[in-house]
């Protein structure tokens, strides 16, 4: 009997929707043999450049170059992710391709439309399940919000639009679940997520879906 590979689960959403908290809780629920990755992965050389861009408003880099760095930051982890899954580990990701495309396309720069932004991510492994967290209550009270680039309400609105356009483009109805977290406690969201994750089918050993 062939062994199942691990599940690749992605949690996406705008800023302040509780992604990182839920990724950590999901990791604990899966227990052993679970890997959690956050994008951008600021620990690599490319990630450090991204971190500088996000935290230093005076750091100048063309938007196209920034976009390609975020994509390269995913590509440098692609083999690692595939190998973990093949070993039977579950892999949880905090942001990935969808954030990569939505935040860049939301800038509205000529020539950097959704298709251009998506093209460099073609071929990356596609999650078995993507959970998109949505909070309908605007809540700017989180400590530190506004300190990094992209953290302002008018930009977040544009990013939201691009997320939905991308879901449509990628026929995401088969592997995307929109999770409404409005008014929910951390525990309630975690329970919702765990129920959805448990319903995800086991995947045969060497089958990978890719972003095409």
- Residues contributing to the site for Mg ion (CB under 5 A): 15
Whether the Cβ atoms of residue 83 and residue 46 lie closer than 8 Å to each other: no
Residue among 103 and 118 whose Cβ is closer to ligand 2DT = 103
Whether the Cβ atoms of residue 205 and residue 2 lie closer than 8 Å to each other: yes
Peptide bond into 40 cis (omega under 30): yes
- 163 near ligand 2DT, rule: CB under 6 A: no
Strands 176-180 and 34-38, sheet pairing: unpaired
Alpha-carbon gap, residue 65 to 74, rounded angstroms: 15
Residue among 37 and 193 whose Cβ is closer to ligand 2DT = 37
- What lies within 8 Å, CB to CB, of 1 at 6+ separation is none
Stretch touching ligand 2DT by CB under 6 A, among 81-89, 96-104, 134-142, 168-176: 96-104
- 211 near ligand 2DT, rule: CB under 6 A: no
132 binds, options Mg ion, ligand 2DT, none, Cβ within 5 to 8 A by partner type? none
Binding residues for ligand 2DT, total number by CB under 6 A: 11
DSSP state of 24: H
- 77 near ligand 2DT, rule: CB under 6 A: no
Strands 8-13 and 129-134, sheet pairing: parallel
Residue among 6 and 18 whose Cβ is closer to ligand 2DT = 18
User: Which residues contribute to the site for ligand 2DT (CB under 6 A)?
Assistant: 15, 39-40, 54, 70, 95, 99-100, 103-104, 150
């Amino acid at each position: 009997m062939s062994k199942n590979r691990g599940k690749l689960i992605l949690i996406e959403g705008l800023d302040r929707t509780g992604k990182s908290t839920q990724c950590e809780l999901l990791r604990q629920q899966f227990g052993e043999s679970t890997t959690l990755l956050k994008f951008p992965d600021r620990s690599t050389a490319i990630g450090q450049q991204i971190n500088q861009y996000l935290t230093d408003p005076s750091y100048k880099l063309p938007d196209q170059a920034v976009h390609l760095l975020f994509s390269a930051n995913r590509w440098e982890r692609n083999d690692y992710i595939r190998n973990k899954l093949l070993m039977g580990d579950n892999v949880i990701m905090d942001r990935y391709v969808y954030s990569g495309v939505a935040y860049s396309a939301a800038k509205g720069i000529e020539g950097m439309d959704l298709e251009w932004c998506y093209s460099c991510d073609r071929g990356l492994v596609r999650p078995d399940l993507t959970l998109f967290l949505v909070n309908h209550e605007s809540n700017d009270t989180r400590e530190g919000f506004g300190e990094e680039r992209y953290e302002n309400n008018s930009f977040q609105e544009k990013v939201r639009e691009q997320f939905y356009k991308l879901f449509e483009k990628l026929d995401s109805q088969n592997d995307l679940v929109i999770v409404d977290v409005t008014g929910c406690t951390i525990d309630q969201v975690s329970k919702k997520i765990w129920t959805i994750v448990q319903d995800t089918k086991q995947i045969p050993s060497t089958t990978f879906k890719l972003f095409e």
